[in-house]
Structure 1
Amino acid sequence: MSKYYVNKFLFTVDRDPEYLKRYTEDPRNFVATWEQSIGPRLNDAEMSTVNFFTQEEREALINHDYVALFEMGAHFFLNLTIFIGIYDEPYMEKSGPLAFQKEFAAKLQHWVGKDYPSVET
């Protein structure tokens, strides 16, 4: 897993309201666009050619599969905050405050008592 590149995606998208909207509405196309033109950008003048998502990472991002991302070693906080940005409001309308965070924790319950996956890059 390219933890760096997945974490860069989570960080970048979560901090840009337009990116987050596009990722929420059309994840498949946005992940492809990000991987081809946004992610490789190092600065305004330079592009990288060495980073890419594995198929497993790409599918987890497309499917908003935060459990798989966690298990692959995506940074816990980055993983949580981007999906709060996507799901917090709809979940809160249905189930009240912290509803998404509670679901996130419940879906990761099988990790209680185990060592979490390393987030080292």
Structure 2
Amino acid sequence: MSKYLLNKFLYTVDRDAVLVERYREDPSGTVEWWETEYANRILNCPDGESSTWLKFDEAERAALVSHDYPALFDLGAHPFLTLTLFIAMFERDYDEPLGFQLEYARRLSDRKLPYPDIAT
């Protein structure tokens, strides 16, 4: 398990409107594509600089593909990164103000302190 890789995915997808839409519409394809193309790129380094060992484990991949943010939270993904990305993807599906944020809070309401460690 790599909290770093989960958070890197959430961070990079959230900062690109095209990737946000791609992830919303085709989560499996986006996760597979991102893992192949971006997982081993080193952030803030020139193209060509990369590692070779980073990949999602099955639990991480399943949570990402199913948009299962409670599972991502349990795996140690940073809650701010999951919240901002999923707001961008799903807020439009709710009629009431703060609709998705309230759903997010409801679905995570059974989590008790201490929360999973989010250090990478």
TM-score tier, shorter chain, comes to: over 0.9
- Residue 119 of structure 1 corresponds to which residue in structure 2? 118
Alignment of 1:12-23 (within 5 A): 12-23=12-23
- Report the CA distance between 1:39 and its aligned residue: 2.0
1:47 aligns with 2:47: no
Distance 1:73 1:40 in 2: 20
Distance 1:107 1:78 in 2: 16
SS in 2 for 1:110: coil
Letter in 1 for 2:83: L
Gap runs ≥5 in structure 1:
none
Gap runs ≥5 in structure 2:
none
1:68 aligns with 2:53: no
1:110 aligns with 2:110: yes
Q: List structure 1 runs of 4+ shifted beyond 6 angstroms.
A: none
Residues 74-110 of structure 1, C-alpha deviations (whole Å, 9 max, x = no match): 001001110001001111xx3x110100010011111
- Report the CA distance between 1:50 and its aligned residue: 1.7
Distance 2:21 2:51 in 1: 25
Residues 11-60 of structure 1, C-alpha deviations (whole Å, 9 max, x = no match): 00000011111111100011000001122222312121121101000010
Distance 2:22 2:50 in 1: 22
- Residue 77 of structure 1 corresponds to which residue in structure 2? 80
Letter in 2 for 1:39: A
Alignment of 1:83-102 (within 5 A): 83-91=86-94, 94=95, 96-102=96-102
Give the total of aligned pairs: 117
Letter in 2 for 1:115: P
Q: What is the identity percentage for the equivalent residue pairs of Structure 1 and Structure 2?
A: 49
Alignment of 1:19-34 (within 5 A): 19-34=19-34
Distance 2:32 2:85 in 1: 18
- Residue 5 of structure 1 corresponds to which residue in structure 2? 5
Range with greater deviation from structure 2 (5-14 or 20-29): 20-29
Letter in 2 for 1:7: N
